[in-house]
Every structure is written in structure tokens, then in C-alpha cells.
Amino acid sequence: MKNLALLFVFLASSAFAQNRSAFDKPNVIIILTDDQGYADVGFNGSTEIPTPGIDRIAKNGVVFTSGYVSYAVCGPSRAGLLTGRYQDKFGFSKNPLLAPKDPLMGLPLSEETMGDVMKKAGYTTAVIGKWHMGAHPTLRPNERGFDEFYGFLSGGHDYFPENLVLEDIDQAKTQYDGYKTKLLRNTERVEETEYLTDAFSREAIDFVQRNHKAPFFMYLAYNAPHAPMQATEKYLSRFPNIKDNKRKTYAAMVSAVDDGVDALLNKLEELGIDDNTLVFFLSDNGGPTSANASDNSPLRGFKGDFFEGGIRVPFAMQWKGVVPSGKSYDHPVISLDIFSTAVALAEVAPKNELDGVNLIPFLTGENSGLPHQELYWRNYAANRFAIRIADSKQISDSENIYLFDIQKDISESVNLYSTQTERVSRLNHLVEKWKKSIMDPVFMGLLEDKEYSKLHPDRFNK
């Protein structure tokens, strides 16, 4: 029955499925950027920062115009993406600290990663770029389902190789010393010579070249355009008309990612596997406009918010031959759906219950319903919750309630709370029900750096 269901999905539109085997397990690539603004891709209307490489994904497939992530900052958002589950269900509710001696500071071992599950299906798996799921040896990528790792463990990193002066993470003395460590290839430190974004693109293309004859899963987690704002002249010179230095550097950093995406798509085509590879592109959260000069327009808010500018992100995917090209899909979807989609196509069962859905039937037209009746968010520290249903979005905390007709008011400019009491009551009921499924954080977060260090005076000692 499972094979018959999968066959029906693949053949749901015969015009898009004529040249492939319905039973091939497709490769899966996730391309994730860090702190990229909603408006800073061509497929969302950017003219100031051309992104022809990234836009190829949208032209070849679908743009999710209401595409969300599960949190408004990077650590919890990435935990949700990598597990397919609301991260509050397993206590990953804060940005983890750099604490290499703490086996609890990161993704709990109770959770399967997407790497774990895809390996069970026979896939070769890789993480390239930013990890941020824990620095303790038991929490690192090679112990969490990934055959290959090239990147760094902390929440951010310098881009210029000459700045990478720490031989290993055990030389760190502060939270942000992690930005200065040499990169890891699996468990060994390496000497990188290229601009960091270019290095990650190089490694991604190499991984595909070496593994294209069998199913693979690659999580390409760029740290651009996250601070520090650093770019090479190659990319800066493309934007002579941008006078604001921060915005110019940001544009250059996005352009570097775009070059890498373009080269990766070229490699898929060169190897003849582009029609058997799902490629997802999204940002881990909205742009922090003051920190990196990103642009979230027409959305309200920015990174850290539960306004749309914090959680609605540029989000596109392609699967040539199955998902129709040039498609725009406006029903709400979330990053958690990527995991569910991949494991459904790989025909493998995860041990934990997932919160996402397989998107393919919705994109081929087999399923005309809504992927989700509700989507949820929690900010534990602020005691703030948000819920999105088809036509409404509500944000509530101890001081305020905001209710928006989100389909008509994408900029969240009109608060309907005082005039829509029945709708508020219904949404509050749904949130209260969801609260029963989540738990308190299992580790201290980035905002508690000093307090954590006082409680753990040997945090960085050998």
C-alpha cells in the first residue's frame, strides 16, 4: 500500500513525471541561510540584491509565500528543522551556549535528527556549515546521524580564514571565541584558505560529486549573512550603488551564497541527477534589520519577533519532474515539513512523532486541503505565544494580545483584538491545548551567558 501511495503521488500529474522512475529514492538537499531578510531574494521581489542562483529553485519549483520557521532565532529554529518536531516538545527553547564540556547543552539525545532517519533508509548524509546543536563530543554531527561534517560548532563564525586563530574549541575562553576556531572536517581541525561561504559551497559540490550514484541527504547550513559583516572584494564590487556600508556588505554576503547555490544546481544538472533531487531553500529566521541591514518588507518586525518579520522567511523548493515549475503556494507551511517530506519519500519511519507533513501531495494537487490547521510558536523567556490558522494570526503575552487578518494584512498593521473577541477566545483555547504538549527548557541560553559561567567556572578549562 505504501508503494502504491508513493506511486500515485509521483504520477499525480503525468506532465511532470514522464521521465523518472516512481520508485527511485530522491536525494534531498536543504540550503539554509542565516538571518536573511524576507525581501532579500529575487523571488520575493528584490531588485537591489540579484539572486539568480537562488531564484532558479523558485523557477524550477515552488515558492512558499507563507513559509514559516518554528522559531525566530537560529538555535531553536534549526532544532525544529533537524528533528521535524516543535523544539519546545524536547526543551530546546533557547539559543544554546558554547559549552563544550556540557552534554546537555544542545540537541537532546532523545531526538532523532534527519540524518539519523535518512541513514536508516540507506542515504549518505552530510552537514556542511553551521551546527549549533551542541559542542560536547556526544552532540556533534558525526554522533547525530551524519557521515560527514565540514564546518563549525558554535552559533556564528568569522568568514576570513586569517581570523581563525584558535586551534581548537578547548582554547576558547568566552562565548564568542568560538567564532575564531579553525574549522572541523569530521573530528579533525583543518586549515581553511577560502572565504567561509565559498568554502562551504566548495565542500557541498564535492560531496555531491562523490556521492551522486546513491541516495544522499545534505544539510548545507550557511552562516551568511549572519554577523560579523565580512565580505571579499569579489562580492563587494558587485554593489557600487549601495552607499550604506553595512547594507553593501550584507548584499555581498548574500551574493556569495547565491554563487554557491548556482554552482551547486549546475553540478546537479551536470551529473544528471537534478530531476531526482529535492532542493529546499530557506532562512533560519527573519532578518535582524539593525544588526545586518537586511530587509523584511512588507513584513512587520524582525529576528526575535513573532510578528511575521521574525518567522516568515524566504522559502522555496524544487523537484523537477514531480513538482510543477513556477508554482506559488500560499497555504501556511513550516520548516518542520521538510523532515516529514523527506522521510515519506525515503520510505522510512522515525521513532518520534513528527509535527510536519509531507508536502508533495499538496504541491502535485493530489491533496487540495490545508497542510496545517494551526501552526504554533512559544518564546519561553517572554511567556509569549503565537498561533497561525488559515485566515488569522494571534500573538499574546502577559501584556498584549495582537490579532491580525493575516491573509489581508500581511504587514500586521491592524490589531483586531478588541473587535474579534470570539476569534480570540477560540485561538486562546487552541494555544492552551498545545501548551500541554510542550516542556520547559532543558538548558540555559545565550542570554544567560554570565550566569551559566558563574555556575560552571570550569566551562572552558581543559
Residues catalogued as catalytic: 74, 132
What's the half-sphere exposure (Cβ side, CA atoms, 13 Å) at 24? 22
Q: Could you tell me the sign of the dihedral formed by the alpha carbons of 96, 98, 104, 108, in that order?
A: positive
Whole-angstrom Cα distance, residue 24 to residue 29?
16
Strands 148-152 and 184-185, by their bridges, are: antiparallel
Q: Provide CB contacts within 8 A for 210, sequence distance 6+.
A: none
Residue 219 β-bridge partners? 30, 127
Whole-angstrom Cα distance, residue 105 to residue 74?
15
Whole-angstrom Cα distance, residue 256 to residue 220?
14
Strands 277-283 and 401-404, by their bridges, are: unpaired
**SS3 call for 212:** coil
Which residue in 32, 199, 36 sits closest to 131, CA to CA? 32
DSSP code string of 222-289: --TTSSS----HHHHTT-TT--SHHHHHHHHHHHHHHHHHHHHHHHHHHTT-GGGEEEEEEESS---H
User: 177: which DSSP letter?
Assistant: G
Length of the chain: 462
Q: What is the residue type of 360?
A: I
CB 196 within 8 A of CB 150: no
Q: Provide CB contacts within 8 A for 379, sequence distance 6+.
A: 72, 306, 385, 397
Q: What are 51's three cell numbers?
A: 539572486
Whole-angstrom Cα distance, residue 198 to residue 230?
13
Whole-angstrom Cα distance, residue 107 to residue 112?
9
Neighbour-count burial of 427, counting CB atoms closer than 10 A to its CB (0-12 exposed, 13-18 middle, 19+ buried): buried
Whole-angstrom Cα distance, residue 117 to residue 125?
10
CB 200 within 8 A of CB 151: yes
Residue found by looking up cell 551546527 in the block: 131
